[in-house]
């Protein structure tokens, strides 16, 4: 079936992963996204600086919405948008932008030494 899916390496990567590896792989991918989001929000709640809170919430929201839209397109809840799955799909500018956002998140969530 993966040969009949258009743009299987970018727009429909989650459907190819589910076909090749099954539902356990999809659950693991979703669990990794949830752990990542939970750890960032845990840091947001403990942060005192409002600017850092807003940056973290904005960055994690970008990644969360991109993943939600990608998965929604693959299960036919949303129309096809051409959005890639963060950290997994092939796409030059998408990987670069998600890497930059991840670097910003890592920089703002690291432990401050006083």
Specify the 3-state DSSP secondary structure of 46: helix
Grouped pLDDT means (10 residues each) for the chain, 114 residues: 64 84 93 94 90 94 93 88 84 88 92 58
Residues 6 or more apart in contact with residue 1 via CB below 8 angstroms: 19
Q: Is the pTM of this model over 0.85?
A: no
CA dihedral 67, 6, 93, 43 (to 10 degrees): 10
pLDDT at 113: 52
pLDDT at 5: 67
Q: In angstroms, what CA-CA distances link 87 with 1, 36, 48?
A: 23, 12, 29
pLDDT at 103: 94
Residue 114: burial class (beta carbons within 10 Å; 0-12, 13-18, 19+): exposed
């Amino acid at each position: 079936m993966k040969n009949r899916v258009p743009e299987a390496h970018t727009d429909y990567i989650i459907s190819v992963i589910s076909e090749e590896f099954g539902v356990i792989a999809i659950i693991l991918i979703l669990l990794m996204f949830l752990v990542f989001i939970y750890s960032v929000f845990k840091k947001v709640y403990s942060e005192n600086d409002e600017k850092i809170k807003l940056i973290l919430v904005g960055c994690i929201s970008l990644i969360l919405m991109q993943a939600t839209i990608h998965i929604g397109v693959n299960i036919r809840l949303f129309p096809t948008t051409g959005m890639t799955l963060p950290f997994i799909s092939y796409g030059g500018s998408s990987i670069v932008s998600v890497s930059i956002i991840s670097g910003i998140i890592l920089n703002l969530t690291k432990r401050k030494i006083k």
